[in-house]
Structure formats: C-alpha cells, structure tokens
Homo-oligomer: A and B are copies of this chain.
Amino acid sequence: MISIEKIKRIDFEKEGQVFKALGNPLRLKMVSLLMNDECCVTDITNTLGISQSTSSQHLNILKNSGIVSPKRYGTKICYAIENEEVKQLILMLIEKYNKE
C-alpha cells in the first residue's frame, strides 16, 4: 500500500502523461502493434490506415512520454517499445478486458 508521505512526493503531472499517452485508441493500437517487434513509420501508417502526418504526431507523443523510441536504418525510422513496464501495463489491461 502507498503511504500518504509517498503520495505527496508523486509528480502527478509527469505520471499522468504516460497514462494520457496511452489513453488514445490510435496510440494504444500503435503500442500494441509494437509489442511483438519494432516497426517503421510507413508500415505503422499503412497498418492503421491513417495519414503519415497523424502517424508521426502520435509517435512523437509516445516518444515524449518515454513509451517508444526511434532507431534509424538509412532513410527509414523504426519505433520500438522503450521499456518493459509499459509492456506490463498493456498486458495487464489486455488480460483484464480479454478474458475468454
């Protein structure tokens, strides 16, 4: 359990950002797509059926909240999930909502 003292030290603005970034269906879809393997912007764009501009903007939001990180391969840029904790969060939610 969290103590009152610990709660007082939390940076809610910063922590909220991670949830906020994941709180958009398109971005959540992107992250889920990246769960298996890294993927370049064009492929993400085509898979989700959105404009390249939109794709790039959402990836930027995910990058800024520390969820994904880019890696350049020549002219292509591949995005991958940055940290394991985020993967765990997604997995937990998927477990929660997709019990068969």
5 additional A-B pairs beyond A2-B35, A12-B25, beta carbons within 8 Å, are A9-B98, A10-B32, A12-B28, A16-B25, A89-B92
CB distance from A93 to the nearest CB of B (A): 5
Interface residues of chain A: helix, strand, loop or mixed (majority): helix
A85-B94 in contact (CB<8A): no
Q: Number of A residues contacting the other chain (C-beta, 8 Å)? A: 42
B16-A23 in contact (CB<8A): yes
> For A18, what are the chain B residues with a Cβ–Cβ distance below 8 Å?
23, 93
Given known contacts A2-B94, A15-B97, A96-B85, A7 and B21 CB-to-CB distance under 8 angstroms: no
Interface centre among A1, A2, A11, by most B CB within 10 Å? A2
